[in-house]
């Protein structure tokens, strides 16, 4: 519609220009008044055409407005129709969505119920199995605990019996002697020590163990070792420490010192007899705790100084015996070193003889090899010259002539 109005205005403008041009050409003869006439002509033409233009514009505007109103009304009807259709579509869509959502909720609810049911069943089964296993393990462990308690009771009875046995002085001495014998027998050879041997001339008291130390002229001297086991006094010290009883501890240590001092003096008097024995002896304490108590009281230095007696526990005696064993081996090597040298000299002499015989044998072998080489070279060439004019025959014919078998 707007394009039509524009076209109409252009046509009117062109018509006005054409009228003006005609009037200008008709008044060329009066140049003075030409400008004024042109203006009057334009004004007159404009006034003449203005009503027509306004009328045309009004008519066109009215038609344009009517057209616009018609288009607006049509658009409104179209929008109303579209809105109505859209509303219906949205209602249908909402119904479809609600239906789908309801169906989805129902399916999810069913699936969740099935999952919950499956989980509950598995949980019940797993829980039941684990509870059953746990109860079985608990029952089994309770049985093992009861068994252990029974063993502990038996052990307590055994400990009580052992305490009753060890309360006897004779029995304690036997236990200490057994421990000492086990340590010595594990480290030294049987010919390196003696048991229950009298080491002092004119004495009738045998020492429990005596180590044979190397002496003069391939002889030996004894190192006496005797075990002592003041177990009751040691228990008094332990009880006093556990009860935090200072007075009882002092009294128990005093008693232990006196007993060990008596033992050391007794060993020195009965078993040490240089030069038949070493000028010192060893007092063996079978328990490490007892040995440590003696060391803490300074008895090691005191007994060495006064009685030439060394105190040893299981670990220190083991280290001492290992050192002695190494010394014994070194002495044995030194003792037999001359014999080894003599043996090597004899081997050297015999090897020189063997080398001479071997050289002679090699010479004989070389001579035999030279004779074989001469025989093979000279004799073979002579025979080949004699047989040069003889023709070859096949293998089968040669075997037949020489009467040879295939195996040959």
Q: Give CA–CA dist 126/321, Å, rounded.
A: 64
Q: At CA 101, angle to CA 100 and CA 104, rounded to 5?
A: 85
* pLDDT on residue 339: 64
What 3-state class would DSSP assign to 283?
Answer: strand
* pLDDT on residue 309: 92
Q: What is the pLDDT along the chain (408 residues), one digit of tens a residue?
A: 555 656 666 676 676 666 666 555 555 444 445 555 555 655 565 555 555 555 555 555 566 567 667 777 777 777 777 778 878 888 888 888 888 888 888 888 888 888 888 887 887 788 778 777 877 887 888 878 877 777 776 665 555 554 544 445 445 557 788 888 899 989 888 888 999 999 888 888 899 899 988 877 667 889 999 998 888 888 888 888 888 888 888 999 999 999 999 999 999 999 998 888 888 999 999 988 889 999 998 988 999 899 999 999 999 889 888 888 887 777 666 665 566 557 666 666 776 776 677 777 777 777 777 777 666 666 677 766 666 666 666 677 666 766 666 554
What 3-state class would DSSP assign to 167?
Answer: coil
* pLDDT on residue 263: 92
Query: How do residues 7-18 score in pLDDT, each as one tens digit?
Result: 666 676 676 666
Cα–Cα distances (Å) from 175 to 146, 169, 258, 279, 295, in that order, read 33, 10, 22, 27, 22
Of the candidates 317, 307, 313, 253, the residue with the CA atom closest to the CA atom of residue 281: 307
Of the candidates 307, 315, 258, the residue with the CA atom closest to the CA atom of residue 285: 315
Q: Give CA–CA dist 340/332, Å, rounded.
A: 12
Contacts 24+ apart (CB under 8 A), 177-185: 177/208, 177/227, 179/227, 179/286, 179/314, 180/208, 180/209, 180/225, 180/227, 180/284, 180/286, 180/317, 181/208, 181/209, 183/314, 183/317, 183/318, 183/321, 184/209, 184/211, 184/225, 184/321
Strand partners, 210: 194, 224
pTM above 0.85, yes or no: no
* pLDDT on residue 32: 45
Cβ pair 205, 270 in contact under 8 A:
yes
Cβ pair 278, 221 in contact under 8 A:
yes
Q: Give CA–CA dist 41/20, Å, rounded.
A: 7
**CA 278: distance to chain centroid?**
55
Of the candidates 405, 376, 401, 380, the residue with the CA atom closest to the CA atom of residue 391: 401
Q: What would you measure as the largest C-alpha separation in the chain, in angstroms?
A: 191
Q: How many CA atoms lie within 13 A of 107 on its CB side?
A: 6
* pLDDT on residue 152: 75
Question: 207-220 b/e with 16+ CB inside 10 Å = b?
Answer: bbbbbbbeeeeeee
* pLDDT on residue 65: 64
Q: Give CA–CA dist 186/321, Å, rounded.
A: 10
Cβ pair 38, 19 in contact under 8 A:
no
Give the neighbor-by-neighbor strand order of the sheet with 193-197: 193-197, 207-214, 220-227, 281-284, 309-312
What 3-state class would DSSP assign to 28?
Answer: coil
Cβ pair 285, 225 in contact under 8 A:
no
Q: What torsion do the CA atoms of 250, 251, 255, 261 make, to the nearest 10 degrees?
A: 40
* pLDDT on residue 57: 54
Q: Give CA–CA dist 1/70, Å, rounded.
A: 12
Alpha helix positions (H), 194-287:
231-242, 246-271
The domain segmentation of the chain, as residue ranges, is: 187-312
Query: E strands, 198-354, where?
Result: 207-214, 220-227, 281-284, 309-312
Which residue is listed with tokens 């229950």?
Answer: 196
What 3-state class would DSSP assign to 163?
Answer: helix
């Amino acid at each position: 519609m707007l394009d039509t109005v524009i076209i109409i205005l252009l046509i009117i403008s062109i018509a006005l220009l054409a009228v003006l041009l005609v009037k200008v050409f008709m008044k060329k003869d009066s140049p003075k008044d030409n400008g004024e006439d042109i203006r009057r002509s334009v004004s007159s033409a404009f006034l003449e055409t203005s009503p027509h233009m306004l009328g045309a514009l009004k008519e066109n505007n009215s038609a344009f407005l009517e057209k616009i109103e018609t288009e607006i009304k049509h658009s409104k009807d179209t929008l109303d129709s579209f809105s109505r259709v859209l509303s219906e579509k949205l209602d249908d869509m909402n119904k479809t969505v609600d239906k789908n959502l309801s169906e989805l909720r129902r399916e999810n609810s069913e699936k969740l119920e099935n999952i919950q049911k499956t989980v509950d069943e598995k949980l019940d089964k797993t829980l039941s199995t684990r509870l059953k296993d746990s109860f079985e393990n608990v029952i089994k462990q309770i049985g093992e605990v009861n068994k252990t308690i029974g063993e502990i009771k038996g052990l307590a009875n055994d400990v009580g019996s052992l305490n009753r046995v060890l309360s006897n002085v004779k029995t304690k001495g036997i236990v200490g002697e057994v421990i000492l014998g086990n340590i010595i027998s594990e480290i030294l050879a049987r010919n390196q020590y003696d048991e229950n041997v009298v080491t002092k001339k004119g004495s009738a008291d045998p020492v429990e163990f005596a180590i044979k130390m190397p002496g003069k002229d391939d002889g030996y001297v004894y190192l006496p070792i005797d075990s002592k086991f003041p177990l009751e006094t040691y228990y008094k010290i332990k009880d006093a420490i556990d009860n935090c009883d200072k007075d009882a501890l002092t009294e128990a240590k005093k008693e232990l010192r006196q007993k060990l001092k008596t033992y050391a003096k007794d060993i020195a008097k009965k078993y040490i007899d240089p030069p038949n024995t070493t000028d010192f002896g060893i007092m063996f304490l079978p328990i490490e705790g007892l040995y440590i108590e003696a060391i803490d009281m300074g008895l090691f230095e005191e007994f060495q100084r006064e009685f030439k007696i060394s105190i040893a526990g299981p670990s220190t005696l083991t280290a001492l015996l290992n050192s002695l064993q190494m010394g014994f081996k070194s002495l044995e090597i030194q003792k037999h070193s001359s014999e080894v040298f003599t043996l090597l000299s004899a081997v050297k002499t015999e090897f020189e003889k063997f080398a001479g015989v071997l050289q002679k044998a090699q010479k004989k072998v070389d001579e035999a090899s030279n004779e074989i080489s001469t025989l093979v070279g000279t004799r073979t060439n002579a025979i080949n010259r004699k047989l040069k004019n003889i023709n070859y025959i096949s293998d089968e014919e040669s075997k037949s002539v020489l009467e040879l078998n295939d195996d040959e």
